[in-house]
Amino acid sequence: MSAFTGKDTSAIPGEGTSATPGKDTDAPTGDNSPTPAAASGFWADADRHLVRYGGAFTREIIERAAGSFVYTADGRKILDFTSGQMSAILGHSHPEIVETVRRQIGSLDHLYSGMLSRPVVDLARRLAATLPAPLEKTLLLTTGAESNEAAIRMAKLVTGKHEIVSFARSWHGMTQAAASATYSAGRKGYGPTAPGHFAIPVPNAYRPDFTTTDGALDWRRQLDFAFEMIDAQSTGSLAACIVEPILSSGGIIEPPEGYLAALRDKCRERGMLLILDEAQTGLCRTGSWYAFERDGVVPDILTLSKTLGAGLPLAAVVTSAEIEQEAYERGFLFFTTHVSDPLPAAVGNTVLDVLARDGLDARARSLGTYLRKGLEELADRHEVVGDIRGRGLLAGIEFVVDRATKESSDELGARVTRRCLELGLHMNIVQLPGMGGVFRIAPPLTATEEELSLGLAILDEAIVDATA
């Protein structure tokens, strides 16, 4: 019996021993199934011709995806608890997204970057309507790295300064300025980063560095100390601070309430702009349209990406008319091949349609509560679950080998990850120095309670197997 479904799970793909783990019983069989030789040839070609860009590839050939599942060439059905690359908030192959792409690509897909189309202007206007004043000016791009690159470039130009502050566990992208503001991975071996980049400690309540008398995180003292160090290192050219409202690649770490407001005040005192990177938290995932709404803080510049295109390459930089005017007068240049492209903009408009019509912010809150309850039940049964955190449908669980000491284990997290995939669940684990394995759980906002229950049941079984 599954603790999360209250029923026999032997018939659920990936559960029990009566069926092949994760086997897609609805998938085509017979001649449509690949032969072992064909699969062997695929991996031989992949190994020979593909550049590896982030570790080993998952040894599954993915043929299609629909809703909350991806389907492999050998007929396995895998529940996707990461929404692709944390992006497909409407699930895979959402029919309205599919129809928009078909319609738009048949009429207007790409333009010279100096030309405008209705989807671009419509999306800019509609984004402004979802945001508090004074955020009303939008630049439409493709990836999160590109939007952060543009935001940092704009901040430097408008302030006339060049120093950038970000979290020590941050991930903002792989292009030059974005990578220079990224500290969770990828800094070693590439030579100097852009000058003037500084890191501040992450307010991690589970692993506090500055503590109160009762051992809790003293984030105010931590933040004061951080900016004392920034001031000591700065040459007097602090331009901006860029942070995620909830660090994702940093281990699903949510700053305490009040932190973002205090950070904004630190920026104001130094004439810095505050850039919030909502690549993964924006557009309803955390239970509100934007994660910063909880704190009542409006950034000077907001960046969006992943969720805006629901899996397609679409990103945005949103700022005030005042900042945009200053940037324009100073000659702001960000002329890229796919800036203001009509096809992804049309998709963005459809994403906004579905989010608003289906009330997916409220759905994320409701499903987030259901998911949290299931994760807490897991923690009650498994001592290796050290911490549960996150908001809405962006959740994290940190694995430890000892709850008292919070001793971490990279190998434990890796074993659970492998077993989950074998059982039919794709999970993403963040493994950073000094932390245990932290699972990022971000299913589509269109997921059902039954699908969440299935994922929790598989995770439960994987933990049992990995710790046996």
Local structure of 176: helix, strand or coil? helix
Could you give the C-alpha distances from 468 to 13, 342, 375, 378, in angstroms and in order?
A: 22, 53, 20, 16
Contact 435, 409 (CB under 8 A): no
Amino acid identity of residue 215, one-letter, is: G
Q: What is the CATH number of domain 97-357?
A: 3.40.640.10
Could you give the C-alpha distances from 421 to 76, 401, 428, 438, in angstroms and in order?
A: 10, 22, 10, 16
Rounded CA-CA distance 248/169 in Å is: 9
Local structure of 425: helix, strand or coil? strand
Rounded CA-CA distance 10/385 in Å is: 25
Residue 21 is predicted with a pLDDT of 43
pLDDT score of 260 more than 90: yes
The domain locations on the chain are: 30-86+360-467, 97-357
pLDDT digits (tens, 9 = 90+) for 423-468: 999 998 887 666 668 999 999 999 999 999 999 999 999 999 999 8
Sign of CA dihedral 354, 357, 362, 368: negative
pLDDT digits (tens, 9 = 90+) for 312-333: 999 999 999 999 999 999 999 9
Residue 211 is predicted with a pLDDT of 98
Q: What is the CATH number of domain 30-86+360-467?
A: 3.90.1150.10
Q: Which of 336, 393, 343, 399 is nearest to 370 (CA)?
A: 393
Residue 29 is predicted with a pLDDT of 42
Rounded CA-CA distance 227/265 in Å is: 11
Give the pLDDT band (50/70/90) at residue 15: very low
Which residues on adjacent β-strands are paired with residue 423? Answer: none
Rounded CA-CA distance 139/1 in Å is: 51
Catalytic residues: 171, 244, 277, 280, 306, 440
Residue 271, sorted as left (phi over 0), alpha (psi -120 to 50) or beta, turns out to be: left
Specify the residue for token string 């790295």. 145
Give the pLDDT band (50/70/90) at residue 129: very high
Give the pLDDT band (50/70/90) at residue 36: confident
Reading the block at residue 266, the tokens are 């630190």
Q: Is 51 or 28 the better-scoring residue by pLDDT?
A: 51
Question: Percent of the chain at pLDDT above 90?
Answer: 87
Residue 411 is predicted with a pLDDT of 87
pTM: 0.92
Amino acid identity of residue 30, one-letter, is: G
Contact 351, 289 (CB under 8 A): no
Q: Is 347 or 412 the better-scoring residue by pLDDT?
A: 347
pLDDT score of 259 more than 90: yes
